Every structure is written in structure tokens, then in C-alpha cells.
């Protein structure tokens, strides 16, 4: 019997390449890696076929903004992974997936994208397809960690997730579309977090007093800011004992955080059309020039609740030196649950609320991610 075929748009990008490698290592699927540059797609397919000693990968040209270019590439696919910086084209890709009878996943962080995909919800449900959005590391993992802790503690009361992303940006190459999309994401930024039993934003004055977190893995004490992720929204109603939860994103570096971000946000307000592209270039420069070692990526949960009727704590650290492996591993772990049918539920889902948490953590560990769980009194 032929294996299922997964098409990865942005297949030769940083996230796409890592997803392709992990899928080849951990599942029997065949792949199509696609992007607007046909030669790069074919080159990567050849590299992967050689590395894995089998003809499992094809390279193809596809543009997420052009349905006619997606049609032949998606033909026969069972899942489309949009690992491309194409959140603005979510409807085009989503419709193409539905027309091809394929399920869908994307790791993009964008409020607008969620709105676009929600407009497809009736068609997704009518077709019985499983669409998974906000996949990856963040978004993608914070609510998985809270759900995991809620399963290990009785009456979970507090659950804070915080991140460090400190990568050697000089070693990375991005599509200009990715930098522009990244800059646009800052315009979507909301500081909503759940405290004292209600969702609240940081006041103007509070934004000058960042929240300090003690991180493991040698990163030490660092400033963070609350960052709303859609996957956190239903947690208080899922776990009514929760009085405090939220995701707290660590800074990139002081120059980017305190100089370039305000300048970039100003640019996007002043010249909305060209602002995102200008901010994207500034961001790339600031990340490359001012980010210093130690390099690594870490997501850390600190939770409190009860165990055997007594107050108890639970800590989880999820880390990898390569931020793109840490992005791809949860995506592939969720894809494995879709492929075996356990998470292939019709509808539009957020990865962090669809995937089974304990299995996902075990699977990403098998993919080389460090997962450390600390039970405390």
C-alpha cells in the first residue's frame, strides 16, 4: 500500500527542512517539499533522498498565493503543512487543501490568520477535514504544558509558561516574506494574561516593569513580558481551579527590545504599507548584531496545585539548542497523532489543545528535545 503523502509548503525554509527531516526519521510518509524556488526544492529533495537512502521526497514549485500553482502539487496529498511565512494567504492554502481532500497544519503566529481560517470553518467541518493551526513551539507548546501539569496535579492553581529564544541569527537565512511577517506579528501583540481569576492587560506604566523569571539551562534571571496566545484562552474554563496562567516571552536582546521595537512599531503606524518591510530589515540587523551566546531555546512551566491533599509544585523544561528543531518536533509529534487517527478530528483546532500532552512530550523527547519534569512539594 502506498504511504500517505505530506506536502510541506516552505519545505526548504528553516522550519520546513526540520519538519521534513523529522517526518522522514519518525514516520513512513512520503513528502513533497515545495516553495517558489523550484531549484531549491529539488535540491533539498535530492539531499533528503540520499540521506535517507530511499526515494521518498519530491521537490516542487508552489506559490501559496496562487491556487493554480497549488493544485497539481497538492493532488493526492493527505496533509498540507504550511511551514511558509504565508499567513496572509491562509484562505488560499486552506481552500486548496479542502479541494485536494487533505488535512492542514500551520505554525504561523498571526491573529489575522486565525480570523481567515475561522471563515473556512463551515467548509472544513462539512468536508470532515482536520485543520490544525498555531502549531510549533510558541504558539504550539505553552498550553500543552499547562494541560500536562493539570493532569499531574490535583486542583491546579497557577501555571506560568515562559520562553527564552537566544539563537545565533547570523547563521540563519530567512525569506524576506518571513521578516515582514515577523514584524507584522508585533502589531498583533497583546499582553493579556490571566490573574486573580480574570484576563487582564499590562497597563501603560506596568510595561516599564517587566516580569523577571529564573530560567534553567544556564540562562539565569531574565526579563519577560506577557504575550497572549489564543491557545491559553480556554484554559481557565477547562481547569476552573486555575486562578493564574499566561505565557511570558523572554526578550531578544536589549537593543531589539527597547530601541528597535518601539521604532519599528512607530514605522508601521507612520507608513503602514512599507512599515512592516522596513521594520523586518531593522529587526534582522538588530538580531544578528546584538544577540550574544549562550545560544539555545527553552520553554519553562512553573505550576502550583495540590497532590495527595497537600500543596505541590510541578516544573517542566523543554529545550533544544536549535530553535527550529524545537519548532518542528511538536509539529511532527502532532502530525503522528493525526496520522494514526487519534488526533484526526474534523474541525479547526489549535495544536496545543488538540494533541495529547503526555504522548507529545514523550515523542518530542524521542526526536532529541530535552524534556525535564520536576515534581516538588
Residue 16 · residue 83 · CB < 8 Å: yes
Residue 337 · residue 356 · CB < 8 Å: yes
> Which CB, 64 or 261, lies closer to ligand NAP?
64
Query: Total number of residues binding ligand NAP (CB under 6 A)?
Result: 33
Q: Rounded distance, CA 96 to CA 71, Å?
A: 7
> Which CB, 157 or 217, lies closer to ligand NAP?
217
CA 7, 13, 19 angle in degrees (round to 5)?
Answer: 55
Count of all residues that appear for the chain in the document:
377
Q: How far is the CB of 84 from ligand NAP (least distance, A)?
A: 3
C-alpha separations of 245 from 3, 114, 184, 259 in Å:
41, 22, 26, 29
Residue selected from 15, 166, 297, 300 as contacting ligand NAP according to rule CB under 6 A: 15
Provide φ and ψ at 77, rounded to 5°. -80, 145
Q: How far is the CB of 206 from ligand NAP (least distance, A)?
A: 26
> Which CB, 85 or 337, lies closer to ligand NAP?
85
Q: How far is the CB of 236 from ligand NAP (least distance, A)?
A: 23
**138 is an interface residue for ligand NAP by CB under 6 A:** yes
Beta strands in the chain (DSSP E): 5-9, 30-35, 57-61, 79-82, 103-105, 130-133, 154-166, 193-195, 198-200, 211-215, 220-226, 244-250, 296-307, 310-320, 347-350, 370-376
> Which CB, 138 or 160, lies closer to ligand NAP?
138
Residue selected from 78, 163, 166, 178 as contacting ligand NAP according to rule CB under 6 A: 178
Residue selected from 10, 184, 286, 305 as contacting ligand NAP according to rule CB under 6 A: 10
**194 is an interface residue for ligand NAP by CB under 6 A:** no
Binding letters toward ligand NAP, positions 59-88, x by CB under 6 A: ---xxxx-----------------xxxxx-
Q: How far is the CB of 237 from ligand NAP (least distance, A)?
A: 24
Amino acid at each position: 500500500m502506498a504511504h500517505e503523502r505530506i506536502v510541506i509548503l516552505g519545505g526548504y525554509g528553516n522550519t520546513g527542512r526540520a519538519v521534513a527531516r523529522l517526518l522522514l526519521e519518525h514516520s513512513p510518509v512520503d513528502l513533497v517539499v515545495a516553495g517558489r524556488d523550484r531549484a531549491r526544492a529539488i535540491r533539498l529533495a535530492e539531499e533528503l533522498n540520499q540521506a535517507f537512502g530511499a526515494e521518498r521526497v519530491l521537490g516542487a514549485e508552489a506559490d501559496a498565493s496562487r491556487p493554480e500553482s497549488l493544485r497539481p502539487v497538492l493532488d493526492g496529498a493527505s496533509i498540507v503543512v504550511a511551514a511558509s511565512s504565508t499567513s496572509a494567504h491562509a484562505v488560499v492554502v486552506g481552500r486548496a487543501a479542502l479541494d485536494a481532500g487533505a488535512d492542514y497544519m500551520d505554525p504561523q503566529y498571526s491573529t489575522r490568520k486565525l480570523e481567515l481560517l475561522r471563515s473556512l470553518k463551515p467548509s472544513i467541518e462539512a468536508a470532515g477535514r482536520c485543520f490544525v493551526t498555531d502549531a510549533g513551539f510558541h504558539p504550539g507548546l505553552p498550553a500543552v504544558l499547562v494541560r500536562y501539569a493539570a493532569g499531574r496535579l490535583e486542583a491546579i492553581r497557577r501555571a506560568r509558561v515562559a520562553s527564552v529564544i537566544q539563537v545565533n541569527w547570523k547563521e540563519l537565512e530567512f525569506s524576506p516574506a518571513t521578516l515582514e511577517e515577523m514584524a507584522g506579528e508585533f502589531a498583533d501583540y497583546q499582553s493579556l494574561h490571566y490573574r486573580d481569576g480574570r484576563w487582564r492587560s499590562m497597563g501603560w506604566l506596568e510595561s516599564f516593569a517587566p516580569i523577571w523569571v529564573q530560567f534553567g539551562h544556564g540562562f539565569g534571571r531574565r526579563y519577560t513580558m506577557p504575550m497572549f496566545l489564543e491557545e491559553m484562552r480556554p484554559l481557565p474554563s477547562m481547569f476552573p481551579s486555575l486562578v493564574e496562567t499566561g505565557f511570558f516571552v523572554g526578550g531578544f536582546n536589549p537593543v531589539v527590545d527597547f530601541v528597535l521595537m518601539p521604532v519599528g512599531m512607530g514605522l508601521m503606524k507612520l507608513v503602514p504599507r512599507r512599515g512592516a518591510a522596513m521594520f523586518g530589515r531593522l529587526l534582522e540587523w538588530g538580531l544578528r548584531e546584538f544577540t550574544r551566546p549562550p545560544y539555545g531555546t527553552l520553554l519553562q512551566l512553573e505550576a502550583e496545585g495540590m497532590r495527595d491533599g497537600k500543596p505541590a509544585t510541578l516544573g517542566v523544561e523543554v529545550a533544544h539548542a536549535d530553535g527550529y528543531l524545537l519548532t518542528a518536533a511538536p509539529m511532527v509529534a502532532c502530525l503522528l497523532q493525526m496520522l494514526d487517527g487519534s488526533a484526526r478530528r474534523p474541525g479547526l483546532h489549535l495544536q496545543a489543545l488538540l494533541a495529547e500532552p503526555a504522548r507529545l512530550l514523550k515523542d518530542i523527547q524521542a526526536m532529541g528535545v530535552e524534556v525535564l519534569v520536576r515534581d516538588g512539594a
